[in-house]
Structure 1
Amino acid sequence: MEKVNNTHKSALTPEQIVERTSIADVYQAAKQLDGITQHTDLVHSEYFSAISSNDVYIKPENLQKTGSFKIRGAYNCISQLSDEEKLHGVIAASAGNHAQGVAYAAQKLGIKAVIVMPATTPILKVEATRAYGAEVVLYGDSYDDACSKAYALKKQHGYVFIHPFDNLKVLLGQGTTALEIIDSLKDVDAILVPIGGGGFASGVALASKLVNPHVKVIGVEPEGAACMKASLAAGKVISLSSVETVAEGTAVKTPGNLTFAFIKKYVDEIITVSEFEIMSALLSLIEKHKLIAEGAGVLSLAALQKLPFKNKKTVAIVSGGNIDISTISALIDKALIARGRVFCFSVQLPDKPGQLLAISQILARLDANVIHLDHNQAKVTDSFQKVLLEVTVETHNSAHITKITDELKKHGFLITKVY
């Protein structure tokens, strides 16, 4: 079999590469990763099993070294560079998990690594990448800006560019995740994997299908960044005009040409999930399993209730957990509001004793816990005899909110929902 060069442009078409790639290539990647990555054990989930009517297991790659699956592909690719390429060093563009994966791999292998990150990257991610010994260059406002700069530096200094997904050895490394799943759950029926540019899904689908063709592989994309589903529908790689999603790790406009070919051949179906479904899955993972993940990390969990089958042994891959505290706090708040677990309303009251007490008694009677209250006369500009009361309460669900609203109205309080 002709070897495919993964660091330079291959003379083979993506389709030819797909046909020439075998399960032996994935096992070779597993050998390269032996002692480097962790075998993340499957976690059975009674909660996600119940809501999906399937037997669900979580593959927690958020517990992987560097906090995501990306170390698998980065290390597999970099470890197989030639001695000359290693001397030149490697470069990558990333605002997240790929940056840390490349930096960690290069540090382990004693290779110089340069990571170009958008200037808007949170300092936590920048420092985490530097902590692995990489030189970080901050440039531009987006991944595209950073990527252009990375290619310019590659040309200037002769670095080897490590693509985050459209690289055979990278996706083969990601495919080792599927080998671990099948080794742990030999009768697995389905595997759910998130899709951004497609490298993870390509590797997982390739390995799954070549070991057991009967395993269903389902890719999951955010509705606001479903570039692979759109490309498959068009029959060719296309670019979305824009992407918008809380799952920033999968906010990709254009999938890879190579990954498109792999996914077209091996992935059975792509499911898209809404922002609410993503945030709800994140909240459930935290509440039910005490596991922290990023938005992109829970895409597979978000798709569980949309599966076209029941009573199957299903593995949902939680792909990463690199998220800063402020972001996760904001996502949890949004998820609570969307689920009807937090309710904020305002009401104008006569400025006289007893009004606040009356509302408090109604809320207490209906088991709504007040978590914030603002009683402000200055906010009512058209009357000196009224005050504006804004109340935030913990609630059970949307039905509970409706009950509270109806009871307040019954007692003459006309409220305005803030959120």
Structure 2
Amino acid sequence: MDKYIEKILSARVYDVAIESPLEEAPALSRRLGNRIMLKREDMQSIFSFKLRGAYNRIWQLSRQQKLEGVTCSSAGNHAQGVALAAKKLGLKAMIVMPRTTPQIKVDAVKALGGRAILHGDAYDEAYAHAREIEEEHGYPFIHPYDHPDTIAGQGTVGMELCRQFGDDLHAVFVPVGGGGLITGIAAFMKYLRPETTIIGVEPEDAASMSVSLERGRRTRLKHVGIFADGVAVACPGKETFRLARKYVDEIVTVTTDEICAAIKDVFGDTRTLTEPAGALGVAGIKRYVEREGLTDANLIPVICGANINFDRLRHVAERAELGEHREVLFAATLPERPGAFRKFCNALGKRSVTEFNYRYADTDEAHVFVGVQTRGGEDERQAILDDLRGKGYEILDMTDNEMAKLHIRYLVGGHTNGLVPNERVLRFEFPERPGALQNFLDGMGRGWNISLFHYRNHGAAYGRVLAGMQVPEEDGKAFRKFLDDLGYFWEEESDNSAYQTFLR
């Protein structure tokens, strides 16, 4: 420990890093009944803590030997940290990235003066090529986490926490990938603030440190989930594992949905978006507080990064409600006859429907995919399902079904093979207010059968709905009056080529 305390105190990081702020999260604190302070490493110039360890490692090397350049393999934040450090020290940086790396990250490395070399389709191939560059050019390979100088650089986050927060600190929650950040923080804080609990947080599908600590040896995972790509590490480092066994108190694992909810939590208090790995600490706090029944404690999550691709936000928004336990998803079986849909919505009562997917497929039964908003908690979820079952509906809970959440909800439907005569398909904009759907169903009134219905609440002022209804030709005038009286924007899509090709 003494060696690491000395290394952290003398680490050279502030040539490129700032002392990141420690900010209270008032909304999250109120909701959890504890004081939550966010350590904002996402506010570094490369939007990640990685520049600390990369710079300290390269600076220490430059003191020991004459350097012309360095190399590394990375598809993420470490690549930017190495590129920035090399630029600051006047060195070449040859950074090998898989060909599958998003262009935004390749461009970020180039903007920092690094040479981005695209090689292979996976990290292992990029790593092997970087090692070849090390042999050929003599450029030292800069490991992303498994070196004492890198660990010491990351450990300056712990040094700052001790200086910034003087009150009793119950626990610090740190995202864990290879282990460089948590072991640097733990080594320093266990020396100066031994009463503070150091808790690592990993995704359930990328929990290499958790598994290794449980087994008492470094363990390589056969498969690593990549949603939180910043911590998607198959095996912890040798040195980081050794330190974690000494100084880390516990590892908490969280689901993808919980990570998405945590991203939303941070946004709610800061109006900034973290990357999935950056929100792990908040997700870990929420699970820990619920498990322990903890109140009135000081808790700090390290927000380790904000390098999120914009196109991932749709997935985050989709899954955040599930992560907060504020939505229940289920399949319901209804009789296939006019009015059954309206009766089912009446059975739901005043609850807000977030999603409804249905396509006619059988003359006897209709299978619908439904989302219902809740106030949060497993008890309410179960109460909704039990209530519907008690009213005679066959219900299948799909809230925790990954296949259903990722794929099935978008595949409900298909051709009707001529079984739906007189079908008219219309696109609506429903005002997002309680009763909008019920108003639509009550207004129909005449018993026109609904043959298709797709609705998803996206949090906007208006919900977009695609509906199919069987309207006999002689009812055309009455149907037009229904649409006019409804008052919602609508547009007929019966001749749309997409409908003709995939749904008719």
User: Are positions 1:311 and 2:293 aligned together?
Assistant: no
Local SS of the residue matching 2:67: helix
How many angstroms does 1:47 deviate by? 2.2
Q: Which residue of 2 aligns with 1:9?
A: none
How many angstroms does 1:81 deviate by? 1.1
User: Are positions 1:140 and 2:120 aligned together?
Assistant: yes
Q: Which residue of 2 aligns with 1:104?
A: 84
How many angstroms does 1:65 deviate by? 1.6
User: Are positions 1:34 and 2:14 aligned together?
Assistant: yes
1:242-287: per-residue Cα shift (whole Å, max 9, x none)? Answer: 0114211111101101000111100111100111100111112113
**Long gaps (5+) in structure 1:** 1-18
Counterpart of 2:247, as a letter, is: Y
Cα distance change of structure 1 residues 137 and 85 upon mapping to structure 2, 3 Å threshold: farther
Q: Which residue of 1 aligns with 2:3?
A: 21
How many angstroms does 1:288 deviate by? 3.0
Q: Which residue of 1 aligns with 2:465?
A: none
Q: Which residue of 1 aligns with 2:136?
A: 156
Match of 2:310 among 310, 314, 325: 325
Q: Which residue of 2 aligns with 1:43?
A: 23
1:202-253: per-residue Cα shift (whole Å, max 9, x none)? Answer: 1011111111111111100000000001001111101000011421111110
Verify the 8 A CA contact 2:86 2:92 in the aligned structure 1.
Answer: yes
Counterpart of 2:421, as a letter, is: F
Cα distance change of structure 1 residues 367 and 387 upon mapping to structure 2, 3 Å threshold: farther
Cα distance change of structure 1 residues 262 and 117 upon mapping to structure 2, 3 Å threshold: same
1:329-350: per-residue Cα shift (whole Å, max 9, x none)? Answer: 33223324666579999999x9
Q: What pairs up with 1:156-305 in 2 under 5 angstroms?
A: 156-187=136-167, 188-305=169-286
Cα distance change of structure 1 residues 385 and 100 upon mapping to structure 2, 3 Å threshold: same
1:334-370: per-residue Cα shift (whole Å, max 9, x none)? Answer: 324666579999999x9x9xxx9x99x99xx969699
Cα distance change of structure 1 residues 372 and 289 upon mapping to structure 2, 3 Å threshold: farther
Q: Which residue of 2 aligns with 1:119?
A: 99
Q: Which 10-residue stretch deviates more, 377-386 or 56-65?
A: 377-386
Verify the 8 A CA contact 1:73 1:173 in the aligned structure 2.
Answer: yes
Verify the 8 A CA contact 1:174 1:203 in the aligned structure 2.
Answer: yes
Counterpart of 2:174, as a letter, is: V
Q: Distance in 1 between matches of 2:34 and 2:282?
A: 12
Q: Distance in 1 between matches of 2:352 and 2:455?
A: 16
Q: What pairs up with 1:339-418 in 2 under 5 angstroms?
A: 380-381=416-417, 382-387=419-424
Cα distance change of structure 1 residues 279 and 91 upon mapping to structure 2, 3 Å threshold: same
Local SS of the residue matching 1:79: helix
Q: Distance in 1 between matches of 2:215 and 2:432?
A: 45
Coordinate RMSD, CA, aligned: 4.0
1:67-96: per-residue Cα shift (whole Å, max 9, x none)? Answer: 100001001111111367452411011000
Cα distance change of structure 1 residues 262 and 392 upon mapping to structure 2, 3 Å threshold: farther
Cα distance change of structure 1 residues 266 and 83 upon mapping to structure 2, 3 Å threshold: closer
Verify the 8 A CA contact 2:321 2:327 in the aligned structure 1.
Answer: yes
TM-score normalized by the length of structure 1 = 0.81
Counterpart of 2:420, as a letter, is: S
Identity of aligned residues (%): 34
Counterpart of 1:316, as a letter, is: P
Verify the 8 A CA contact 2:19 2:160 in the aligned structure 1.
Answer: yes
Q: Distance in 1 between matches of 2:82 and 2:155?
A: 17
Verify the 8 A CA contact 1:74 1:101 in the aligned structure 2.
Answer: yes
> Taking CA–CA contacts closer than 8 Å with sequence separation of 6 or more, which of the two structures ends up with the larger relative contact order?
1
Counterpart of 2:152, as a letter, is: L
Local SS of the residue matching 1:203: helix
Verify the 8 A CA contact 2:13 2:53 in the aligned structure 1.
Answer: no
Q: Which residue of 2 aligns with 1:13?
A: none
Structure 1 or 2, whichever has the larger Rg, is 2
Q: Which residue of 1 aligns with 2:396?
A: none
Q: Which residue of 2 aligns with 1:16?
A: none
Verify the 8 A CA contact 2:202 2:280 in the aligned structure 1.
Answer: yes
1:151-180: per-residue Cα shift (whole Å, max 9, x none)? Answer: 111111111000001011001000101111
Q: Which 10-residue stretch deviates more, 49-58 or 275-284?
A: 49-58
Aligned residue pairs, count: 386
1:385-412: per-residue Cα shift (whole Å, max 9, x none)? Answer: 335678897979xxx99x97xx99x998
How many angstroms does 1:40 deviate by? 1.3
How many angstroms does 1:324 deviate by? 1.8
Local SS of the residue matching 1:82: helix
Q: Distance in 1 between matches of 2:97 and 2:188?
A: 31
Local SS of the residue matching 1:242: coil
Verify the 8 A CA contact 1:89 1:112 in the aligned structure 2.
Answer: yes
Q: Which residue of 2 aligns with 1:3?
A: none
Cα distance change of structure 1 residues 92 and 414 upon mapping to structure 2, 3 Å threshold: same
Counterpart of 2:184, as a letter, is: G
Q: Distance in 2 between matches of 1:392 and 1:178?
A: 51
Local SS of the residue matching 2:131: helix
Cα distance change of structure 1 residues 416 and 384 upon mapping to structure 2, 3 Å threshold: closer
